[in-house]
């Protein structure tokens, strides 16, 4: 029991590390594409680890399935939004992050 | 300091910040955004007050009020935004200041 | 316990205030709106921390989703209009604000007074909790929040659905700007198409689930309606033609259906009871029917509201005409 508990903490801690790395990438990387890269890669893996860490603390099957479903949905959603943001950035290269049109 | 008290005070501070910007911004869109912060701050305060007794029962009435309040707030925001867009269509302005409309 | 929850609450509170400041002071309104959406997401966590999972569900869909979409829709409409009327007067860079000393003073006094009032009166009474919780058996549902919304204070909720309907009518009445082009229909991309195909049924399913569990667990018409509204916004943004114009057949019935069913249910029990006083035996089913109708209406109303803000209300035929 305690081994499973320790493993779950370990997984969650690893997940948080990936979240942190992704956030640092988002803040520090120079342009849209590398930021997206850092964010989506790190967050998908980070969330996956956190979800699996949480699954280890659950005994009910329905809750476990819900957790996996959440992870899958986030994977799909983040892949799609990443694609959309990248596509829009590719099409409008002049719209950089400094949109200071002061509305 | 109990958990609910922290959030109640946070809500009050956020509502205060919202109020200040609501009064001081001239751009109407920014005023509406500030209004949303006032609303969220007050919601936070109300719901925290529902759990103010540490081990007591949780009052469902503020929860119900705020739940419907959130939905009503978003519809009011939408109506305001539609009005502002139309106002901008007609006047080209995003403020109510007379001197900018010459 | 490995984590000290109290310090988590403090961190979250500080983050909320910092985000509020950042959103309100952002020079670029676009950034302000994005930060506002982030703020909504954190508020959803705050709701869980004050034992309000019902609110967390609604806030996650509305505070961090629909409200932001409304603002961004309105903003992009205004920016496009500015570009189309070419040089136009470049408006005063409206980061400008008029912060007189009295504004600062008024706000500080009000905030401090409120905070003091809270600190003084905290923990004295338990409000209506006992009254509501002791009569939960009579409501027909188990989730106390649902009981309050749809039974104990159903009259309020009926009028609130009415307010939503009025807002939609208002958006219709304000109508379309004369010269604005429509939101650029995103060129159909396979990725987005697949995503929407996958997502929409999931959202509808989840909304149905939320209505169903609402009688005993967090969930109900408002949360499910917010989800449906979010689905509507995604569909509109992906370039789908949704029948949002009031002239389209059925739209008025869908928009007004929740209010109508609610009202009729209230009247139907009036033979030997007061308005909206459901008989105990059938209360559960009456509430479920009302909630289903309201869910669909709330979802449709939110979709129409977004369409109104983003200038998507025109029917395709009108669009070709302009």
Considering the domain architecture, whether residues C71 and C188 belong to the same structural domain is answered as no
Query: Which residue from C75, C66, C81 is spatially nearest to C310, judged by alpha carbons?
Result: C75
**Chains near C (3 or more Cβ pairs under 8 Å):** A, B
Find the largest Cα–Cα distance for chain C: 68
What's the CATH number where B72 sits? 1.10.287
Of the candidates C41, C63, C86, which is a domain's last residue?
Answer: C86
Residues of B whose CB is below 8 A from C25 = 21
* C292 and C206 fall within a common domain: yes
From the list C135, C258, C6, the residue with the least C-alpha distance to B60 is C135
In a domain, B101, yes or no: no
Is there a contact between B62 and B49 (Cβ–Cβ < 8 Å)? yes
Q: Which domain holds residue C5?
A: 1-86
Of C140, C207, C176, the closest CA to residue C308 belongs to C176
| C-alpha angle C31-C32-C35 in degrees, rounded to nearest 5 | 85
Per-residue pLDDT in tens (0 to 9) along chain C, 322 residues: 445 656 889 999 999 999 999 999 998 899 999 999 999 999 999 999 888 999 999 999 998 889 999 999 999 888 887 776 644 444 444 445 556 788 888 889 999 998 998 888 776 666 788 888 888 888 888 888 888 888 888 999 999 999 999 999 999 888 765 544 455 555 567 888 888 988 999 999 999 999 999 888 888 899 999 999 999 999 988 877 788 877 777 888 999 999 999 999 999 888 888 888 888 888 889 999 999 999 999 999 999 999 888 887 765 444 433 3
Which of C47, C66, C86 is the last residue before a domain boundary? C86
In a domain, B102, yes or no: no
Residue C131 lies in a domain: no
The pLDDT assigned to A84 comes to 86
Count of domains in chain C?
2
Q: State how far the Cα of C270 lies from the Cα of B16, in Å rounded to an integer.
A: 45
Q: How far is CA A96 from CA A84, B54, C27, C37, C101, in A?
A: 15, 49, 15, 21, 37
Q: For every one of its 102 residues, what pLDDT tens digit does chain B have, with 9 covering 90 and above?
A: 578 888 999 999 999 999 999 988 888 999 999 999 999 999 999 998 887 776 777 888 889 999 999 999 999 999 999 999 888 888 888 887 765 443
CA-based end-to-end distance of chain C: 65
Kindly give, in sequence order, each residue whose CB lies less than 8 Å from that of residue C302, ignoring residues fewer than 6 positions away.
B74, B75, B78, C66, C225, C226, C228, C229, C230, C232, C233
Res C1: pLDDT: 47
* Domain match, C71 and C151 both: no
> What residue in C sits closest to A76 (Cα-Cα)?
C195
Total number of domains constituting chain B: 1
Q: Do C43 and B27 touch (CB under 8 A)?
A: no
Asked if C150 and C244 sit in the same domain, the reply is: yes
What lies within 8 Å, CB to CB, of B76 at 6+ separation is: C167
pLDDT tens for A32-63 read 888 888 888 888 889 999 999 999 988 889 99
C179: chain B residues, CB-CB within 8 Å: 89
Same domain, C79 and C176: no
Q: Which residues contact C132 (CB under 8 A, 6 or more apart)?
A: B59, B60, B61, C144, C147, C148, C152
Structure tokens belonging to residue A78: 């983040």
B70: nearest CB among C25, C58, C73? C58
Q: Which residues of C touch A73 (CB under 8 A)?
A: 202
ipTM of the predicted structure?
0.92
Pick C79's closest partner by Cβ from A83, A84, A103: A103
Helix, strand, or coil here: C240? coil
Give me Rg for the CA atoms of chain C.
23
| A9 contacts in chain C (CB < 8 Å) | 2
| 3-state secondary structure (DSSP) of residue C92 | coil
Q: Give A23→chain B minimum CA distance, Å.
A: 25
d(C-alpha C178, C-alpha A11), whole Å: 57
CB contact B79 to C (< 8 Å): yes
Q: Which residues are paired to C97 by β-bridges? A: B25
Alpha-carbon span C253 to B35, nearest angstrom: 32
C256 or A96: whose pLDDT is higher? C256
Name the percent of chain B in helix, strand, coil, to the closest 5. 80, 0, 20
C23: which 2 tokens? 């959103």
Q: Which tokens in the block code for residue C61?
A: 């869909």
Query: What is the structure's pLDDT at C298?
Result: 95
If you measure CA to CA, which chain A residue comes closest to B28? A103
Domain carrying residue B12: 3-95
pLDDT score recorded for residue C90: 41
pLDDT at B102: 36
Is residue C261 assigned to a domain? yes
Q: Give the torsion through C-alpha atoms of C301, C306, C308, C309, to 10 deg.
A: 140
Distance between CA C58 and CA B43 in Å, rounded? 13
* Residue B87 counted as domain residue: yes
Q: Does residue C119 form part of some domain? A: no
Which residue of B4, B71, B80, B89 to mutate against C (max C Cβ within 10 Å)?
B71
- Locate the chain B residue with the closest alpha carbon to A103: B27
- pLDDT value at position C99? 60
What pLDDT does C88 receive? 43
State the smallest CA–CA distance between residue C213 and chain A in angstroms.
14
* Contact (CB, 8 A) for C243 and C313: no
Same domain, C321 and C219: yes
The answer to whether residues C72 and B81 touch, using CB atoms and an 8 Å cutoff, is no
> A100 vs chain C: nearest CA distance in angstroms?
6
């Amino acid at each position: 029991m305690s081994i499973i508990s320790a493993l779950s903490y370990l997984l969650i801690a690893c997940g948080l590390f990936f979240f942190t790395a992704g956030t640092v990438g988002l803040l520090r990387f120079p342009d849209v594409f590398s930021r997206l890269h850092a964010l989506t890669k790190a967050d998908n893996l980070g969330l996956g680890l956190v979800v699996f860490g949480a699954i280890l603390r659950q005994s009910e099957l329905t809750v476990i399935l819900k957790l996996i479903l959440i992870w899958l949905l986030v994977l799909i959603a983040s892949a799609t939004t990443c694609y959309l943001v990248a596509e829009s950035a590719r099409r409008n290269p002049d719209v950089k992050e400094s949109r200071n049109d002061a509305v | 300091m109990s958990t609910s008290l922290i959030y109640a005070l946070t809500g009050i501070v956020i509502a205060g910040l919202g109020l200040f910007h609501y009064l001081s911004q001239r751009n109407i869109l920014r005023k509406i955004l500030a209004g949303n912060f006032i609303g969220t701050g007050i919601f936070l305060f109300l719901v925290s007050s529902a759990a103010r007794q540490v081990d007591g029962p949780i009052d469902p009435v503020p929860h119900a009020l705020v739940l419907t309040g959130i939905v009503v707030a978003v519809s009011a925001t939408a109506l305001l935004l539609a009005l502002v867009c139309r106002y901008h269509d007609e006047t080209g302005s995003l403020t109510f200041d007379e001197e900018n409309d010459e | 316990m490995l984590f000290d929850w109290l310090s988590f609450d403090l961190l979250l509170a500080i983050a909320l205030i910092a985000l509020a400041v950042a959103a309100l002071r952002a020079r670029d309104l676009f950034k302000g709106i994005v930060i506002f959406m982030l703020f909504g997401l954190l508020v959803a966590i705050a709701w869980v921390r004050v034992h309000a999972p019902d609110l967390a569900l609604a806030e996650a869909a509305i505070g961090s989703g629909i409200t932001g979409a409304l603002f961004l829709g309105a903003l992009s409409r205004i920016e496009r209009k500015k570009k189309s009327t070419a040089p136009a007067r470049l408006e005063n860079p409206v980061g400008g604000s008029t912060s007189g000393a009295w504004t600062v003073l008024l706000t500080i006094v009000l905030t401090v007074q409120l905070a003091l009032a809270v600190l003084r009166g905290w923990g004295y009474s338990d409000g209506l909790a006992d009254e509501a919780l002791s009569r939960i058996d009579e409501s027909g549902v188990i989730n106390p929040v649902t009981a309050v919304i749809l039974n104990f204070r159903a009259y309020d909720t009926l009028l609130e659905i009415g307010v939503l309907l009025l807002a939609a009518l208002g958006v219709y009445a304000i109508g379309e700007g004369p010269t604005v082009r429509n939101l650029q229909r995103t060129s159909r991309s396979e990725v987005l198409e697949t995503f929407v195909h996958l997502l929409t049924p999931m959202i509808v399913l989840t909304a149905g689930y939320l209505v169903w569990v609402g009688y005993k667990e967090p969930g109900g018409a408002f949360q499910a309606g917010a989800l449906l509204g979010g689905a509507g916004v995604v569909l509109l943004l992906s370039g789908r033609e949704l029948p949002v114009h009031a002239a389209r057949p059925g739209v008025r019935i869908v928009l007004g259906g929740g209010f109508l069913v609610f009202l009729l249910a209230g009247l139907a029990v009036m033979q030997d009871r007061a308005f909206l006083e459901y008989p105990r035996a059938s209360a559960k089913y009456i509430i479920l029917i009302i909630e289903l109708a309201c869910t669909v209406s709330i979802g449709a109303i939110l979709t129409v509201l977004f369409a109104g803000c983003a200038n998507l209300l025109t029917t395709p035929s009108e669009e070709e005409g302009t």
